[in-house]
Each structure stands twice: as C-alpha cells, then as structure tokens.
Amino acid sequence: PHLEVDRLSRIGMANIQSGSDLYWVHACIVWLVVVSTEHFIQQAMDGFLVRRWQWLKRMPAPRCTTVLVENLPLEYCSDSRLRTFFAKMFTPEDIVATHVVRRTECLLDLIARGHPTDLLLKRAEADRDRSPS
C-alpha cells in the first residue's frame, strides 16, 4: 500500500539514505546556525552593556552606586566582612559604605501594618480636597 506523507516530512532527515553526503551538509548548516546565533547574541549583549552603562552614569547618586545583595553567605554577614569581599572586586576607595540588614521579620510586620494607615491618610486627604472650604 502507498503511504501518504505530508509535505513537510518529504524534506526531513528521515528521507536521507544512510551514508549520504547530505548528513555532512546538514551538520555544517547546524554549526553555521549555532555560530551565527552566538555572534548575534554577543553583539546584542555588547550593545546592551553600552546602553546600560550610559543609563547608570545618568542616574543620580546614591541610586547609581547602590547594590542590593540578598541571601548573603554567613561568612559575609557583617559590614566589615562584606566590605572586605567587595574590596576584592573593586578598589577600596570606590566603596563608600556597606550595610548588612539582618532579621527583618519585625520590620516586615511594621510595613504591613503601615499600609492600611497610608490608605486611610490618602482617603482623608482626598476628602479634604473635595470639601468646599
């Protein structure tokens, strides 16, 4: 019986005879795609880094000089040890300050309790602005 094959399957690798030179052509094309993709990704990253540095340089301090690091290993959980760690990557003169914030559970609770009062304050200000005084 004659099997009907869809059009896309006609050009598939399953139709190439074993030992055919087309396998080498296919391998070369795959590597060409891989190398060109790597090139385009590297080119895009280089352009992104240029734009990112320009963006950071336009930003006002301290926003452009602040780094937030989360989940610090225990050996860096002090201001001085964190400073020593960053001094290995940057010049020590470039580091203005290091601060480690620990045990923020109660702070998070205070922030959560503060949000309803912020909403009440905004409502009161809106009512005040609407009143014809």
- State mean pLDDT over 70-90: 91
Confidence class for position 40, pLDDT limits 50, 70, 90:
very high
Is the full-model pTM beyond 0.85? no
Check whether 107 has a pLDDT greater than 90: no
Q: What is the pLDDT of residue 2?
A: 55
Kindly report the average pLDDT of the chain as a whole number.
Answer: 86
Check whether 1 has a pLDDT greater than 70: no
What 3-state DSSP class applies to 112?
Answer: helix
Q: What is the pLDDT of residue 133?
A: 61
